[in-house]
Structures are given as structure tokens and as C-alpha cells.
Structure 1
Amino acid sequence: MRRRRGCPAVLVLHGDLDRARRLEASCLSMWTATQIEPDGFDYGAQRPTDLAYPLRPEIIESAWYLNRATGDPAHREMGQRFFDDIVKYCRTEGGYATLANVVTKEQDDAMPSFFLAETLKYLYLLFAEPANVDLRDVVFTTEAHPLRRNR
């Protein structure tokens, strides 16, 4: 079964923290199975169905939203694990690379711009002081750009 991206963050914004936590836990289970996030995963068989890792931000974005909503340090710990694994398996001499295969950790020669614009931004936000962004005043676009809310 292929997972849907970004759902835990959307559930947090909707106020459904219980389902958001459970879905984020399943995302962590998927990450743990291959030490990094495959682009598709069969939860029943506990194996990847799409072996690529294109440096997507959604799992980290969800950890940030859950951390902000709950204050539970487990979400920062997840983020630290995500960061450490990205550095371990995707770091190159000139930046970061997508993975062609999460099992063998074979790298592709690509670093999508959303990695800088979103993935690293959500990692920064996850470990920054909460006062840096007040979600009552700001909403993020799909590219993680903050827009001030009009009150």
C-alpha cells in the first residue's frame, strides 16, 4: 500500500492529533525499515515498493507540526534521526543527492530545489526556538514559504 504524503501535518492543522501521531509513527516505521524513506512502501509486507528517495520534506514537515502542536520531544528526536540518515546516505562533496535505491543507498546525480527550500527549512524550524514562527500569524505555502495571515 502506497502511503500519502503530508497527511500527518494536515491532520495536525485539522486538530486530529491522535491520528496525526499514529500516521507519523507509521512513517517512522517505514523509515526504520530501510534507514531512510522509500518513495513507496507496503506496510503489510514491511518492504519498499518504490526504492527511490527524492529528498522529500513531508515526513520532516509533519514532525515539525506535531512538535509544535504537542511539545513532545519525540518529534525532535525523529527529526534528528531523519537528519542524521540524510547526511549519512545522501551527502556528497557538493551537496546532497537523491537515492536511486534506499536498500543499497545508491545515489542519483540530482538534488531537487525543494530539498533546500523545504526539507532543510523544516529541519531548521524543527530545531529552532518556537518563538521564531507563530502559527497564529503565519501560514506556509506548499513550498514552505511563510505568508503572514491577515487578521
Structure 2
Amino acid sequence: MSIIHAMPGHLIRRLNQISTSIFQERMQALGSDLTPVQFGALASLHDNPGIDQATLAGLIAYDRVTIGGVVDRMVGKGLIERRVNARDRRARQLALTDAGRALFERLLPEVEALQAEILPGLTEDERALFVALAAKAAEAGNDRSRAPLRPLDGA
């Protein structure tokens, strides 16, 4: 076994590959081409309707420049709509369309169910510990990310 197989960075990259593959396979089986980032956007807009694009990027820890393409694709799919902000006519608010809301509600149980598949070989207790430790490390390193998580005030 190579030395890289014990390095957290390598293991995190591999787990990301596994997670993305499992997510894409499940979406394909459900007749959807939604990506993990798009699902994150749906979830954030479901919980925070009317936020702007920059806030959405912060809520899912995604690059502010790149989020524009994600939103454009989701608008094109009829899942998100842009609205003019009543207080600032230059700003645009984002909201789920009825189709976006219905898709999110249909996919949420499936995405929740596939979480155990992302960490094969771990018991339920081990998965909970892994998630707790990964969340702790992600929070501690958040300021070093090129796309840090930025929760809403009070969150």
C-alpha cells in the first residue's frame, strides 16, 4: 500500500468520488440529472426562500463565481426562479418553483437513505462518529476554504 493511502487528503478525495458516484447513480435511477451541488441549492432554497445568489453560495460553501452557472442551469430546468428584490431593484432573489419544490420533496428521502451507502463498511455508530469528526474538522478549517460555509445570521 502506498503512503498516500493513509493521508487524509487522499482519503477525502476518494470518499468524494464514492459519494458523487452513488449520488449520480441514484439520481439516474430516479430519472433525474440533479448534481449534489444542485441538490444542496434546492435544500437551501427550500429552507431559505428569497435569498440572493451570494447567500446561496455561502450556505452550500460553493464558489460565488461558479454558483451563477449552477443557478442558470437550475433556472433553465424550471427548478428555480429569479425575482426582483422589492427593496433593491438591482438585486435578484431566488426561490424554488413548484416543480423545484416537488422535486426536492420527492428526492429528499432518497438522498437521506443513500447516506449510509456513502460510508460502506461502517456501523451506524461509526458513521455518526465519522460525521461528527468530519463536521468538526470542516468547521475548524472553514476559514481556509476558497468557498467557506457562511450560515445565515442566527444560524
Q: TM-score, normalised by structure 1?
A: 0.30
More helix by share: 2
More strand by share: 1
Query: Which protein, 1 or 2, shows the higher relative CO under an 8 Å CA cutoff with sep ≥ 6?
Result: 2
Q: TM-score, normalised by structure 2?
A: 0.29
